[in-house]
Amino acid sequence: MKFVSDINLDKQTLILISLGPTATALVYDLHRLGNQIIDFGHFDINYEYYIRNARKKIKIPYKYVNEVSGGSKNIIRVKDKNYYKQIIFKVT
């Protein structure tokens, strides 16, 4: 099992999190350990709308969109190896 205290990053590293209600607790724990962290909340999904010129809330491939009916049904397994290379730590 991994814990937040297992994350060993340079304190100059800015951590961005968007994990729903989980983010609030995780941000608190990471900040107490001296990390710089921002809870982006729905910023990422709003950015996805922006780059698609969406005039209303829509389903976004690979993302859970709780504001859209059926927004959890379009989540498919990511096959992009570059995506997985960017994940530096998984909290389990």
pLDDT tens per residue, range 24-74? 888 888 888 888 888 888 888 899 999 999 999 998 888 888 888 888 887
The residue range of the domain holding 57 is 4-85
Count structural domains, the chain.
Answer: 1
Any domain includes 91? no
Residues in the chain, overall count: 92
92 falls within a domain: no
* Per-residue pLDDT at 8 exceeds 80: no
Tell whether 30 is covered by a domain. yes
- What pTM, to 2 d.p., does this model score? 0.54
* CA dist 71 → 10, 23, 55, 80, 88 (Å): 36, 20, 17, 21, 27
